[in-house]
Amino acid sequence: FFSTTCNMIPVKNLTEAQALDAADGVIDGKFYGQAIQGLGPNGQPLGQGPGSQAPGSKPAAPGWTPPSSSAPTSVPPSAPPSAPPKTFSAGAGAGGGGVVNDAPGLPQWSGSNVRPLEASMVSELRKFNITEAAQSSVTNAVKLLNDLGEAWQNDYAIIFSKQSHTWWMLAREGAVLDLNSAVEAHKKITPGSAKSNATKDKKSKEERKKFPLEKRLCQGIVGQRGAIASTSQQIRRKENGWHSTDHPLVFLFLGSSGIGKTELAKQIAKYVHEDDKDGFIRLDMSEYQSQHEVSKFIGAPPGYQGYDDGGQLTKKLKRCPGAVVLFDEVEKAHPDILTCLLATFDEGRLTDGKGETIECCDATFVMTSNLAQKEIADEAVRVRAKLSKAGQTETETAREIISPEYAQKVIMPILKGHFKRDEFLGRINEILFFLPFTEEQKMHLANREIDKWSKIAKKRHNMEIQWSTDVEEFVVKAYDPRFGVRSIQHEVGRQVVSRLAAAHEEDKIGEGDTIILGIRENEVVLRMGAKKS
């Protein structure tokens, strides 16, 4: 499905060389290209003026052509001599230079959908001046246009002439031609926005420094220090510009159920995107087990059912291309989905059924799987026992528990056997192991769960809940490795919360009460503490 959409190009993060290789058309406000051929004055291809290239040949140095004299800083009364004249004829069926629109569902000239480059489009083009306005390069122009935000969509467009391999920028009559000035003017219209962003950036940077990522993550997640340390390191590298911008960040979280894989992904999203709900995308890959579900994933191609719905992933990624994307139970996905993911991880872009390309180099992809969970858990128990004998449990690190040798020898073959594709595993930045909890960690988890409910009791009902460690020990007994922390949550719910709720319903406890939890005859009992005056 990628090959069918090769005439679409994203402009963001585009180098000129890439653009020239891939380009095929108009790039509109949504930053995508569309195939046009032979669009130019009087049927001539664009850029056929003096100084431009012969059709079909590439310019020696890619960039805005013609590289004429000095770039205009204001709208010239007529088009510059080297640029095509203001009016031109082009359009589907126009003799000598037809417009090819071979990718249905292309983006609109302005706005969110596509109108093919036909008569209506051409009349739209006439509202624009053709200009050589970009002073340096298409990349730079695009960057400036991006700075203009949504505002540029109505006033500017970029055209690539396939025949002359020439980029042109179109500016609507009256629009400022010098992009630097346009950006400046735009900033003035939206006062404070840049400044407040800067202040916010600075503030959050300071906050982040004071409260490092690891510390935040450890607050929300018990244990899993190895996974926390590795993800934090990668995220921080990305935050500070020490990462590759060619690929998105890709993690594979391995481990049994209910031990924090999803939770860690959520916490990362919270850190990266704060309260932006679109910043976290979660897809259950067990819903994509058959081939026909690929279209549910990236959207159906034109003419197919569900075309208008868009894909689950692409739709959401479009809203936030830098999102943290969680693919749960990735081992269940159909191999075609994996192919799709591989390309995404590799190129940092994803093309949907409509042929629109989404740049996602900025995204963080987290896949989770229960593959090799037994091998990970068994090894952890074995190594911990060994460490404990040597009196070293306090200093355990994940690397010590699941050694690189063990990972290579035992775990990788399981992954390879399942995914069957080395290149898929090769595109993962980090494979992280989530370890079973130690007894101490289980106690900590029980404490946190009871504490969570005591806070709720305080807030909602003004009740004080107290308990001793024997209650925590009692809860921990119900720990079931098949369900992980969920078994603790369930036991606290059953033994503590429902008892409190029942007592409250029967008016045995109420506002201002202190309730002490204890254990008698193998169950949790409630006792009234001294009433606060």
Ligand X SMILES: Nc1ncnc2c1ncn2[C@@H]1O[C@H](COP(=O)(O)OP(=O)(O)OP(=O)(O)O)[C@@H](O)[C@H]1O
Q: Does 260 bind ligand X (CB under 6 A)?
A: yes
- Rounded Cα gap, residues 90 and 87, in angstroms: 10
User: Which of these ranges, 79-87, 162-170, 261-269, 412-420, lies near ligand X under the rule CB under 6 A?
Assistant: 261-269
Sheet holding 523-528, edge to edge: 464-467, 514-520, 523-528
Least distance in Å: CB of 258 to ligand X?
Answer: 5
Judged by CB under 6 A, the stretch of 137-145, 257-265, 330-338, 511-519 that binds ligand X is 257-265
Q: Which of 12, 186, 261, 427 binds ligand X (CB under 6 A)?
A: 261
Sign of CA dihedral 318, 323, 328, 332: positive
Q: What stretch of H or E contains 182?
A: helix 179-189
Angle between helices 498-505 and 439-461 (to 10 degrees): 20
Select the span of 44-52, 255-263, 412-420, 522-530 touching ligand X (CB under 6 A).
255-263
Query: In the set 37, 53, 108, 224, which binds ligand X (CB under 6 A)?
Result: 224
Is 294 in a helix, a strand, or coil? helix
Verify binding: residue 486, ligand X, rule CB under 6 A.
yes
Sign of CA dihedral 390, 394, 398, 399: negative
Instruction: Specify the stretch interacting with ligand X by CB under 6 A; choose among 111-119, 158-166, 220-228, 517-525.
Output: 220-228
Shortest approach of ligand X to residue 235 CB, angstroms?
17
- Alpha-carbon distances, residue 382 vs 191, 373, 377, 405 (angstroms): 62, 14, 9, 15
CA 339 centroid distance within chain? 18
Judged by CB under 5 A, does residue 18 bind Mg ion?
no
Which segments of 240-293 does DSSP mark as H helices, in order?
261-273
Q: Minimum distance from CB of 412 to Mg ion (Å)?
A: 22
Name which of 296 and 442 has its Cβ closer to ligand X. Answer: 442
According to DSSP, the β-strands at 324-328 and 364-369 are parallel
Cβ distance 73 to 181 under 8 Å?
A: yes
> Count of CB atoms within 10 A of residue 98's CB?
17
Contact between residue 513 and residue 504 where contact means Cβ atoms under 8 Å apart: no
Distance of alpha carbon 72 from its chain centroid, rounded?
A: 39
Cβ proximity to ligand X: between 41 and 258 the closer is: 258
Judged by CB under 6 A, which of 262, 339, 438, 514 binds ligand X? Answer: 262
Q: Which of 42, 135, 180, 257 binds ligand X (CB under 6 A)?
A: 257
Closest CB to Mg ion among residues 258, 355: 258
CB of 223 to ligand X, least distance (A): 5
> Smallest gap, in angstroms, from Cβ of residue 369 to ligand X?
8
**Does residue 370 touch Mg ion according to CB under 5 A?**
no
Distance (Å, rounded) from C-alpha 132 to C-alpha 170?
Answer: 8
Nearer of residues 258 and 348 to Mg ion, judged by Cβ: 258
What's the closest the beta carbon of residue 482 comes to ligand X, in angstroms?
9
Q: Draw the binding track, 321-340, toward ligand X (x: CB under 6 A; -: no contact).
A: -------x------------
Residue 226 interacts with ligand X (CB under 6 A): yes or no: no
**359: partner contacted, choices Mg ion, ligand X, none (Cβ within 5-8 A by kind):** none
From residue 243 to residue 262, what is the string marking binding to Mg ion with x (rule CB under 5 A)?
A: ------------------xx
Q: Left if phi > 0, otherwise alpha if psi is -120 to 50, otherwise beta: which for 512?
A: left
Task: Determine if 514 is a binding residue for ligand X (CB under 6 A).
Answer: no
List Cα–Cα distances, 345 to 204, 340, 360, in angstroms. 29, 9, 9
User: What is the rounded distance in angstroms from the CA atom of residue 233 to the CA atom of residue 467?
Assistant: 38
Smallest separation (angstroms) from Mg ion to the CB of 418: 18
Backbone dihedral region of 259: left (phi > 0), alpha (psi from -120 to 50 degrees) or beta?
Answer: alpha
Nearest approach, Cβ of residue 327 and Mg ion (Å)? 10
Query: Which of residues 261 and 296 has its CB atom nearest to Mg ion in the complex?
Result: 261
Asked if 65 is part of the footprint of ligand X (rule: CB under 6 A), the reply reads no
Asked if 221 touches ligand X (CB under 6 A), the answer is yes
Q: Least distance from C-beta 448 to ligand X, angstroms?
A: 7
Among 259, 380, 415, 500, binds ligand X (CB under 6 A): 259
**Can residue 136 be called a binding residue for Mg ion (CB under 5 A)?**
no
Smallest distance, Å, CB 249 to Mg ion?
A: 19
The CB-nearest residue to ligand X is 260
Sheet holding 324-328, edge to edge: 280-284, 324-328, 364-369, 249-254, 430-433
485 lies in the binding site for ligand X (CB under 6 A): yes
Q: Can residue 223 be called a binding residue for ligand X (CB under 6 A)?
A: yes
Instruction: Between 59 and 223, name the residue whose CB sits nearer to ligand X.
Output: 223
Q: Are 150 and 29 in contact (CB under 8 A)?
A: yes
Helix, strand, coil abundance in the chain, percent, nearest 5: 45, 15, 40
Q: End-to-end distance of the chain based on CA atoms, in angstroms? A: 71
Q: Which residue is associated with the tokens 């003004």?
A: 462
The whole-angstrom separation of Cα 477 and Cα 462 is: 30
- Inter-residue contact 451 to 347 (CB < 8 Å): no
Footprint on this chain of ligand X (rule: CB under 6 A): 221-224, 257-263, 328, 368, 370, 484-486
Footprint on this chain of Mg ion (rule: CB under 5 A): 261-262
